[in-house]
Structure 1
Amino acid sequence: MEGLLFYHEGGFVVIGTIVNTLAILVGSMMGGSIKKGIGEKYQNALYNAMGLAACGLGINAIVQSMPKSTFPVLFIISLAIGSLAGSFINLNDRFERLTKRFSKGNLSQGLSTAILLFCVGTLSILGPMESALHDNHTYLYTNATLDFVTSLVLASAYGIGIALSAVVLFLWQGSIYLLSGYLSSFLTAELLNEVSLIGGFLILSSGLSILKIKDCNALNMLPALFVPIVWFIIKAIL
């Protein structure tokens, strides 16, 4: 398994994910250093900027994905079921308690937003598959550039704890990479579109929370991402 992770036809394949992970780590360290010298007034300005950016990215994903949806009510059902499941498990409170061990601030809000932005997206899902199956790292290099800037700004607002999202990203992309042979036929354009649509709503909800417009508890809605996957599996079996 270790050989599969690092080498493919003599090439160093997981390099794309490593670059993506390092980009987040470097961006987080740089942003964390900036945060130490920023006053509360400017931190609030950064919160507003990140909140608006998250809302914009979420709306963009929704606008792009909704017209392509072949199951118009699936995202509604997914958000409803996912929210109920997440609330039952109480993901948001559990995550907050965990992050408070590392930080006294509102790191959980920034970290949850970072994880959604870094992991829920076409580049982050298709990137490791392209890397493993076709030895093409373009998607991941592009993703690394975007994630570097995002992590820098997030860490300048929430602190260096944003670097923890790099671990989540590495495990996420690494898992997709290892399973790429099995996932390539299952991850159809239709399924990715439904996941992107729901991801857009989750990113938008994070933006609304950052802007203090409405605390949507985005983490409690996270299970919604798995509902389309279950639906497509049932559909394939039937």
Structure 2
Amino acid sequence: MAVPGLGTLINAAAIVGGAGLGTMAGHRLPDRVRDTVTDVLGLITLVIGGLDVASLVDPSLTRAVGSRAPLLIMLGALVLGSAVGAAVHLQRRLELLGDWMQRRLSRDEEAGSFSEGFVTASLVVAVGPLAILGALSDGLGRGIDQLVIKSVMDGVICIAFGASLGWGVAAAALSVIAVQGSFTAVGATLGTFLPDAEIATISAVGGVLLLGVGLRILNVRPVPVANMLPALIAGPLLTWIVAITR
């Protein structure tokens, strides 16, 4: 039986390895090639986000809160979460963290570039259904299959990110360790932590955040996605409230 947390460590290693390969290859690629890769990555991120938003029609969610409530729950979660994130300047705090790490770990890159790589990659690899479900499964002793699949996906994604955004992408491994490590600990101590309806809500809200990330990657609009992260907590809470009051 795998040791709890092994899946997340494999995932983190895949991110660092992919970012390293991408960064080394990126310096040898023409700008037009890197720009094209970045555009493709942005489009793929939009597709993944759209697929995650489809969790709004997940049967477990509609059974728990009804067929009309999921969209309102997601709207409420995003409004509440964004208000909290903006109030505490979460986006800026993450950028400052990236700047601090850049000063500590690298003297060759501009702080802004390092921060963008760290924040953008973190929001892609640390937010999503596999990050939550895979980490919970790992903590419950059900295996690391989901996290191994996610590791392969993240490694490929980080090659593309590293080619365009540099070494800051590798620091996203710390975000994955923190987020997935937390859910692994929850799974190991509390057993089945979240019902399927709450998981579906997190996936749908995470999908909206990924759409924002896609817009940032494509330079359509600098959506402050990090400020919206508290919506991932507000979503399941609102789902639980609606479900018990129906």
Query: TM-score per shorter chain, which class?
Result: 0.7 to 0.9
* Counterpart position of 1:22: 13
1:148: Cα distance to partner? 0.8
**CA offsets 1:47-99 (integer angstroms, 9 cap, x no match):** 2122111111111211x212224332000011111111111111222222332
* Counterpart position of 1:50: 41
**Aligned counterparts of 1:205 and 1:183: Cα–Cα separation in 2:** 32
Match of 1:179, SS state, is helix
* Counterpart position of 1:65: 55
Instruction: Pick the aligned partner of 1:114 from 90, 109, 121.
Output: 121
Match of 2:229, SS state, is helix
% identical equivalent positions: 29
The answer to whether the aligner puts 1:190 opposite 2:197 as a matched pair is yes
* Counterpart position of 2:175: 168
Q: 1:78 to 1:184 in 2, by over 3 A?
A: same
Instruction: Pick the aligned partner of 1:40 from 27, 31, 35.
Output: 31
* Counterpart position of 2:75: 76
- In structure 1, list runs of 5 or more residues that go unmatched: 1-7
| 1:69-108 alignment runs, 5 A limit | 69-70=61-62, 71-72=69-70, 73-101=72-100, 102=102, 103-104=109-110, 105-108=112-115
1:209: Cα distance to partner? 1.5
CA contact (8 A) 1:107 1:161 kept: yes
* Counterpart position of 2:134: 127
Instruction: Pick the aligned partner of 1:227 from 234, 237, 243.
Output: 234
Q: 1:39 to 1:183 in 2, by over 3 A?
A: farther
Please, what is the CA RMSD of the aligned residues? 2.2
* Counterpart position of 2:147: 140
* Counterpart position of 1:202: 209
- In structure 2, list runs of 5 or more residues that go unmatched: 63-68, 103-108
Q: TM-score, normalised by structure 1?
A: 0.86
Q: Which moved more, 1:90-99 or 1:101-110?
A: 101-110
Query: Aligned residues, how many?
Result: 228
Match of 2:28, SS state, is coil
* Counterpart position of 2:221: 214
Query: What code does the residue aligned with 1:44 have?
Result: D
